[in-house]
Amino acid sequence: MSTSAATANTAATLARAKADAVEAAAAIARLQQLLETAEADAAAIDRESQPLVAERDALKRQVEAVEARIEAVHKTTAKYATVQDPVIANDGFTYERATITAYINDCRKSGVAARSNQADMELTDEHLYSNSTLRRIVDQLRAIQHPNASAAAATGGNNSRPPQQPQPSHPPQPGGSQFRANAPPFGAQPGTSHQHQFQQRPPAYPANRPPVNSYQLSHHQHSNAAPRGMQPLAPPPPPQQQQQQGPPPGNIPTFRVTNPNSVEVRHLSGNTHPCMRVYGQCNFGDNCAYAKYPIECCLSNLKSRCRYGDQCKELHVEVATVASPPQGASSQQQQQPPTPPSQGASTTSREPGGVNPSASPWQPSGGGIFS
């Protein structure tokens, strides 16, 4: 009796164990199915998140690039906003007038020649003339107000500029208080080309370059008081009278201003050759197509490329009396306008600046911007 009872108990225990095993197997199957579903969901989420992560990284790189450009703009603005009186020296580079003049005077007192560290040539104070293009950029920079400065002005804050430090009288070095005329535009990286950059290279002409002829200017709004170095002229005659008249004595052309509202009209120096103002040098000299134009002229307008038209701040003129070509100049040199200098070009290339190696030596004529 006891044996049969024990057998029955054992059978019941085995049956319960078998049922538990079946339930455990079913639970394991359900868990495995849930695990596979979770893995599939994770893979789908990963596939969907990859483009978002790539977009996030791209936006982050763009933000970093914009911040770097903003920092470059701040540095460029702080650098050029301190310019006081930029002038172009005979080495083709732009300096502060006070700095370059003090350096040349110190060298003269010491009995040594003042030399350019950029062009390795002698510097003289006889060839300094204002860089009006850089001066206009500096004026525009000073007209821009920082948002913090505007808020301080609205609340009555003190926005006065700190006093300028005196300029040292040691040899000019790149990156100091003096500035090269080919400085990049705002936000551009150094060394990049741009239509507003002013590429400057050492000129090929000697330090004792003779002067350039002066010019005469006349238009219907010209005042009776003539600028320095110029003679006051009457309004231009009608077109019929102009055709009957020949070139003025000495082949000095007469020009008519086509944009009387130009800022430069009120600041005429009486000098000529806009190539020298823009590029600092000219290979064609007196044979240049623009040699007799006022130095304040818009060189882009003379090349029919000025996009500002009558709103341009530089001087726009047209020839009222055409002068005959100077003797010894070929028709190709008179008609073909010079091209801007490019990086890597030799100093004897056909570009505004230097001396034409095929032209005859310069003959001094007296007067002009280099006298």
Q: What is the largest CA-CA distance in the chain?
A: 153
> Mean pLDDT across the stretch 134-160?
64
> Mean pLDDT across the stretch 319-336?
48
Q: What is the pLDDT of residue 148?
A: 59
Residue predicted with more confidence, 276 or 356: 276
Q: How high is the mean pLDDT of the chain?
A: 66
Q: What is the pLDDT of residue 125?
A: 82
The encoded tokens of residue 271 equal 């000098």
C-alpha dihedral (176, 177, 182, 187), degrees to nearest 10? 80
Which residues make Cβ contacts (< 8 Å) with residue 33, sequence separation at least 6? none
Q: Which of 145-149, 194-198, 338-342 has the highest mean pLDDT?
A: 145-149
The encoded tokens of residue 150 equal 């505007």
Q: What is the pLDDT of residues 82-117, one digit of tens each?
A: 888 889 988 888 888 889 999 999 998 998 888 888
Q: What is the pLDDT of residues 35-80, one digit of tens each?
A: 999 999 999 999 999 999 999 999 999 999 999 999 998 888 888 8
Distance CA 83, CA 96 (A): 7
Q: Is the pLDDT of residue 121 over 70?
A: yes
Q: What is the pLDDT of residue 12?
A: 86
The encoded tokens of residue 120 equal 């390795």
Q: What is the pLDDT of residue 254?
A: 75
Q: Confidence band (pLDDT; 50, 70, 90) for 149?
A: low
Distance CA 254, CA 219 (A): 10
Residue predicted with more confidence, 285 or 46: 46
Distance CA 59, CA 148 (A): 27
Q: pTM for this structure?
A: 0.29
Residue predicted with more confidence, 81 or 168: 81
Q: Confidence band (pLDDT; 50, 70, 90) for 328?
A: very low
CA distances from 270 to 80, 140, 267, 293 (A): 28, 25, 9, 10
The answer to whether 354 touches 203, Cβ cutoff 8 Å, is: yes
Amino acid making up residue 334: Q
Q: What is the pLDDT of residues 220-265, one digit of tens each?
A: 333 334 334 333 444 444 444 333 333 344 455 677 888 777 665 5
Q: What is the pLDDT of residue 146?
A: 58
Q: What is the pLDDT of residues 7-41, one digit of tens each?
A: 888 888 888 888 899 999 999 999 999 999 999 99
Backbone phi, psi, residue 116, to 5°: -85, 125
Buried b (16+ CB within 10 A) or exposed e, 196-229: ebbbbbbbbbeeebbbbbbbbbbbeebeeeebee
Distance CA 263, CA 241 (A): 30
Q: What is the pLDDT of residue 58?
A: 95
Report the percentage of the chain scoring pLDDT > 90: 15
Which residues make Cβ contacts (< 8 Å) with residue 36, sequence separation at least 6? none
